[in-house]
């Protein structure tokens, strides 16, 4: 089963989702369950001029049916939708979260900086890995939504080892084997042999342990972050030390065709790699190609894990 959570009620999540559904086969739609507010669903479908009817546990879109878990109007609809899905999700299910803003996911009264941080708190696992997959790229961020000043303190040998290990162990279960791992430095030019910083030398222990544990995989250590993208091969993982070191190039090369993947949870979590686009809400102008890409990958994973 693939569980979809609606995201921010004033964002483009439901719009791009329903547009992507109309491009999906009826067989694939049978594998989806949408967790959403009924009022927002109806408002979106009216904006899109899609013929529909709602019943207690689903939507009919023309000649297509979609299973739903509806909830009533509430504050923090992103969090309500997410908890609705998490209350029923199983180990081999896939969770697809639609975009929300960072003020919409409180956990036990405290705000979270995004879905990944929410999952880390809820599942008491600080090493859930934020990973991005595009048609030609696979990227892991060692640190993600943290301040730049905190990166040297956060990026340690232990965290590097644990996050790369999570990806190497879990990613092939859903997608394909990884044969090559490229790791960026923290400093410009990967420290230039210590001239621009010595943090890279302090992290060598993590690579030694990874090479011993994954002896069948090739590791290239501490390459300059600004040229890492020039190294391209199939079945390759590019590891960047912080959010804005890895994602500008990924998004420039892949546009909205990217998966935001959380690895280290009891299930697979996917999302689009774009935001809420509040300025497009209710205008029927949002591009659904990114959401369609995510759903196609979710369908493929669902087939593979249940075959």
Q: Are residues 204 and 149 in the same domain?
A: yes
Q: Are residues 166 and 273 in the same domain?
A: no
Residue 281 tokens read as: 């809400």
Q: Are residues 44 and 154 in the same domain?
A: no
Tally of domains in the chain: 2
Q: Are residues 31 and 59 in the same domain?
A: yes
- Do residues 272 and 256 touch, judged by C-beta distance below 8 A? yes
The CATH number of whichever domain residue 67 belongs to comes to 3.40.718.10
Q: Looking at residue 110, what DSSP letter applies? A: B
What CA–CA distance (Å, rounded) separates 142 from 239? Answer: 7
Number of Cβ within a 10 Å radius of residue 200: 21
What CA–CA distance (Å, rounded) separates 56 from 106? Answer: 28
pLDDT at site 27: 74
Task: Report the Cα–Cα distance between both ends of the chain, in Å, rounded.
Answer: 13
Q: CA–CA distance from 228 to each of 8, 87, 237 (Å)?
A: 34, 40, 11
pLDDT at site 17: 96
DSSP string for residues in 37-53 = EHHHHHHHHHHTT--EE
Indicate the pTM of the whole model. 0.91
Q: Are residues 26 and 110 in the same domain?
A: yes
Residue 234 tokens read as: 């199939």
pLDDT at site 155: 87
Q: Are residues 50 and 133 in the same domain?
A: no
Q: Are residues 147 and 61 in the same domain?
A: no
pLDDT at site 26: 74
What CA–CA distance (Å, rounded) separates 60 from 76? Answer: 26
Q: Are residues 238 and 306 in the same domain?
A: no
pLDDT at site 301: 93
- Do residues 140 and 248 touch, judged by C-beta distance below 8 A? no
Q: Are residues 10 and 111 in the same domain?
A: yes
* Strands 218-223, 52-55: pairing kind: unpaired
pLDDT in tens, the chain (307 residues): 999 999 999 999 999 999 999 888 777 888 999 999 999 999 999 999 989 998 888 998 878 889 999 998 778 899 999 999 999 999 899 999 999 998 899 888 888 888 999 999 999 998 899 999 998 889 999 988 888 888 888 888 889 999 999 999 999 999 999 999 999 988 777 766 766 766 777 777 778 889 999 999 999 878 888 888 888 777 999 999 988 888 888 888 888 889 999 999 999 999 998 999 999 999 999 999 999 999 999 999 998 876 6
Q: How many CA atoms within 13 Å lie on the side-chain side of 133?
A: 23
* Strands 94-97, 268-272: pairing kind: parallel
Domain span at residue 248 reads: 127-262
Q: Are residues 5 and 60 in the same domain?
A: yes
- Do residues 63 and 29 touch, judged by C-beta distance below 8 A? no
Q: Are residues 119 and 132 in the same domain?
A: no
């Amino acid at each position: 089963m693939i569980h979809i959570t609606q995201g921010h009620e004033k964002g483009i999540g439901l719009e791009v989702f329903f547009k992507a559904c109309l491009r999906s086969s009826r067989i694939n739609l049978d594998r989806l369950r949408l967790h959403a507010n009924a009022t927002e669903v109806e408002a979106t479908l009216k904006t899109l001029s899609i013929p529909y009817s709602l019943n207690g546990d689903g939507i009919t879109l023309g000649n297509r049916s979609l299973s739903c878990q509806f909830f009533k109007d509430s504050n923090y609809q992103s969090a309500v939708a997410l908890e609705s899905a998490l209350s029923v999700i199983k180990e081999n299910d896939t969770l697809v979260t639609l975009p929300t803003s960072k003020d919409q996911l409180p956990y036990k009264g405290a705000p979270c900086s995004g879905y990944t941080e929410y999952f880390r708190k809820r599942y008491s696992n600080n090493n859930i890995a934020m990973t991005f997959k595009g048609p030609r790229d696979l990227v892991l961020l060692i640190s993600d939504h943290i301040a730049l000043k905190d990166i040297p303190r956060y990026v340690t040998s232990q965290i590097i080892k644990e996050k790369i290990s999570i990806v190497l162990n879990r990613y092939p279960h859903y997608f394909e084997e990884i044969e090559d791992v490229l790791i960026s430095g923290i400093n410009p030019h990967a420290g230039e042999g210590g001239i621009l910083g010595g943090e890279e030398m302090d992290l060598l222990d993590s690579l030694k342990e990874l090479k011993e544990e994954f002896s069948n995989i090739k590791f290239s250590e501490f390459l300059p972050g600004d040229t890492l993208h020039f190294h391209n091969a199939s079945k390759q993982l590019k590891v960047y030390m912080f959010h804005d070191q890895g994602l500008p190039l990924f998004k420039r090369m892949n546009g909205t065709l990217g998966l935001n993947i959380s690895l280290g949870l009891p299930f697979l979590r996917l999302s689009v790699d774009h935001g809420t686009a509040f300025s497009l809400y209710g205008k029927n102008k949002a591009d659904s190609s990114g959401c369609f890409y995510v759903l196609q990958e979710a369908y493929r994973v669902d087939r593979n894990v249940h075959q």
